[in-house]
Amino acid sequence: MRWRDPIVLSTKFLIASVFVLCLAMALLGTWVSRQIERNVMITSGANGAAYLRATLEQFVQRIDSLERLHPADAASLDRLFKNAAFRNGTLSVKLWFTDGSSTATVIYSTTTMEIVGDEHTLTKVHRAWSGHPVAEFETVNSSGSRAEQSLQLTLIKIYAPLFRNGTNEVIAVGEVYHVGSDLAQHLRQAVNLTWYIVCLTTALMIAVLYLVVRRANRLHFEHQSALRIKVLEAEEMAAQNYALRLAADRSRLDANAANEQLLGRIGLDIHDGPVQFLTLLRFRIDEIVETLITGIYGTASAADGLQDLADKLSSVINELRDLSVGLVLPELDDLSLRQTLRLAVDRHEHLTATHVKTDFGAISEKVPAPIKTCAYRIVQEALSNSFKHADGHGLQVTASTSEEVFKLEIIDEGRFNDTSRRLPPDGTRLGQHGIRNRVAAFNGSVSIEPYSVNGTRVVISIPLS
C-alpha cells in the first residue's frame, strides 16, 4: 500500500486500538504496580511496627520530662542490639520524641550516640506519632539518615508508634532500618511479571480485536463489491431495457410499415389481376348484351361469348382463391416441423407449377409452435420472392436442427442469362424486411447473399431455447 492510498478500516482500527489500549494498559500497569508496592509496604510496616513494639515499647515507659531515655533502659537497648542473632537483618534502630511541634528529637540511636539530641523536620515521625505506622524504601536523602547513606544498600525504613502501657498514648516513635535487597528484588519481579501480563494481555486484545475488525472489514468490502456488481448489473439491465424499448418501438413502426406494404401489395395484386379481368368481363358482357339486342351475330355467337365469359370468370375465381390461400395460415398445431415445411413447399409448388428440391435431414420434432409458424412464413415468403424474381429456377429448401439451433436455407439460381439482378439494401423489399423482423423476434440471425451466378441464398438461424 502506498502512502497516498486511503487507509482501510482495519488499519485505522489497529492504530486507534494500539494507542487507546496501550495508554489504558500503561495506566492499569502503573496502578497495579503501585498497589503491589503499597501493599508490600503496608505489610512490611505492620510487621516492622509489631517488631518495634515488641522490642522497644518496654524500654520507653520511663522517658522523663526532659525527653530523655532512662539510662538503665538505654543500657538495656545497647546490650540487646549488640546480640548478632537479634540484629539479623536489622541495620539500625532509632527512637524519636516530639512535643507536637514541627521538629522531632533523636533520643536513642544504635549507630552513634552523637546524633542523640539532634532535631529534624520529619513528616514520617509526625505521622507515626499520630498512631499510623509508616514503611518505605529509604530514598537516602533525609537529614536524619546520613549514617545510613554511606552504606549504599537497599533499605526498608519503618516508623512505628510506641504506646504507654495499657493506653493509646504515644510516648515515642521507633525507627528501624532493615536490609531490603531481597524484598526489593521480589517486588521488582512481581512488578515485571505484572507488566509482562499486562503487555501480553494488551497484545492479545489488540490481535483479537484486529482480526474481528479485519474480518468485518473484509465482509464489508465483499458486500460493497457485490453491491457494485449489482449496481453495474442494474445499469446494464437498464441499458438493455432501454435498447429493447427502442427495438420494440422500431419493431412496431416496422410492423406498421410492413403491414401497409403488405396491404399495398395485396391491393396491387387484386388490382392488376382479378380487377383487370373483371373489367374486361364487364366490357365483354356489354358486347354480348348489345349482340343479343341488335341480333347482328345471332344466338350462337352470343352463346360462345357467354361460354368464354364463364371461362374467364372461373379464372378470376381461381386467382382470388390462390390469393386467399396465401393469406390464410393453415392449422399447424398438429403438424411437426418437417410436416410444416413440407406443407409450405407443396403449396408453393401447387400454386406456381414449379419444383422445389428439399432436404430435411436431422430435424427435431420438439419445436415450439411459434417457431413452426415463423418457419412456414419464411419458406412461403422466400419461395414467393424467388418465383417472382427468378422464375422458380433452381429452388431448394434445406433445414436441420443441431445443438439447440434451427437452421433453414432457401436457394434459387436466378433467371437464365440475367445479370441485372442485384441484392437490394436491407429492408427495401417487403419480403426480406418481413423475414428479418420474424427472425429478430426469436433472437435469430438472417443472411441474404448471392449464390451461383445470378441466384440468391437466404440462411436463417434460430435458437430453439
Locate the domains of the chain by residue range: 9-179, 330-463
pTM of the model: 0.42
State how far the alpha carbon of 455 is from the alpha carbons of 142, 199, 202, 393, 447, in Å: 125, 91, 88, 9, 14
CATH no., domain 9-179 = 3.30.450.20
Residue by residue, DSSP assigns 127-187 as HHHTT--EEEE--S-SGGGHHHHTT---EEEEEEEEEPTTS--EEEEEEEEEE-HHHHHHH
pLDDT band at 421 (very low <50, low <70, confident <90, very high): very low
Give tens-digit pLDDT for 217-244. Answer: 788 888 888 999 999 999 999 999 999 9
What is the DSSP code (8-state) at residue 273? I
Q: Which of 1-5, 70-74, 451-455 has the lowest mean pLDDT?
A: 1-5
9-179 with 330-463: one CATH topology?
Answer: no
pLDDT of residue 237: 93
CATH topology of domain 330-463: Heat Shock Protein 90 (3.30.565)
| Residue 121 confidence (pLDDT) above 70 | yes
| Residue 404 confidence (pLDDT) above 80 | yes
pLDDT band at 426 (very low <50, low <70, confident <90, very high): very low
